[in-house]
Structure 1
Amino acid sequence: MLKTKPLENKDYELIKEAEKVIGTNYVYGRHHIGAAVRSKTGKIFSAVHVEANVGRITVCGEAIAIGKSISEGEHEFETIVAVAHPHPHENIEKCWVVSPCGMCRELISDYGKDTEVIISYKDKLVKCNILELLPEKY
């Protein structure tokens, strides 16, 4: 069982930033995940994932948001979230929070073992420490 915490207002703001970046930049078959990371100084960096025809070179939104943050001098992270944008053929009206993939779990934990991740768990949005999602990290 995951150790989770309820979301705070600033966490909902982070989700809105992830929704905003993918809402503005959604392109079917190219960009459908938006991510946002809040640094420990409170700055927010958002990005979309970059899809590639060769799947193994696709870059997740979380990785790009972290890279954007680092490129701007912010190296310590408080919280990160990713959201999926519905495709035109789906009967879904709004974005939803998605858990980071395995590679992103590794990346997030490599750059901050105390980083919190917003996820959907037992039908509600919560946050947990990244290591809760990656137990027994090497």
Structure 2
Amino acid sequence: MLRVKPIENRDYELIQKAEKVIEDNYRYGRHHIGSAVRTTSGNIFSAVHVEANVGRITVCGEAMAIGKSISEGEHEFDTIVAVAHPHPHESIEKCWVVSPCGMCRELISDYGKDTDVIISYNGQLVKCNVMELLPEKYTSDTE
């Protein structure tokens, strides 16, 4: 059973930042996921995912937001979220929160085991620690 926490007002701001970055930059076949990360200092960094024709080299929105944060000198993370933008052929009208993929779960946990992730769970938005989403995380012998 996943241990979850209710989201707070400041988490809605994080979701809105993720929605804004993808709404401003959505391009069919190029960018359809937006992400935002809040650092422990309270700053928010948002970014879109970068799609590639060869799927293996696509860079997820969470990785882009974390990279943007780190590039600006912020290395400690509080909460992260990703949202999907509807495609033109879909009957969905607005963005929705999506869970991080497996590689993003690894990346988020590599850079902050205490980082919370906003997800949709049992029909509602909640937060959980990234390690809840990645049981038995891979570690090297040096960790």
1:46-69 deviations in Å (ceiling 9; x for gaps): 000000000000000000000000
Look up the match of 2:106.
106
Question: Structure 1 residue 64 and structure 2 residue 64: aligned?
Answer: yes
d(CA) in 1 for partners of 2:135, 2:17: 28
Q: Count residues with an aligned counterpart.
A: 138
Distance in 2 (alpha carbons) for counterparts of 1:71 and 1:48: 16
* SS of corresponding position for 2:5: coil
1:76 Cα deviation (Å)?
0.2
- Give the partner amino acid of 1:74: E
CA distance in 2, matches of 1:40, 1:6: 18
| 1:33-88 CA-partner distances (Å, limit 9, x unpaired) | 00000000000000000000000000000000000000000000000000000000
Q: Which amino acid aligns with 1:43?
A: N
Q: Which residue of 2 aligns with 1:36?
A: 36
Q: Which residue of 2 aligns with 1:19?
A: 19
**Which runs of no fewer than 5 residues in structure 1 stay unpaired?**
none
Q: Distance in 1 between matches of 2:7 and 2:25?
A: 26
- What percentage of residue pairs aligned between the two structures are identical? 83
Matched, 1:94 2:94: yes
TM-score scaled by structure 2?
0.96
Question: How high is the TM-score relative to the length of structure 1?
Answer: 1.00
Which residue of the partner structure matches residue 125 of structure 1?
125
- After superposition, give the CA deviation of every residue in 1:90-124 in whole Å (9 maximum; x if it has no partner): 00000000000000000000000000000000000
Where in structure 1 do 4 or more consecutive aligned residues deviate above 4 Å? none
Q: Within 2, Cα distance between the matches of 1:39 and 1:116? A: 11
Residue 24 of structure 2 aligns with an amino acid whose one-letter code is: T
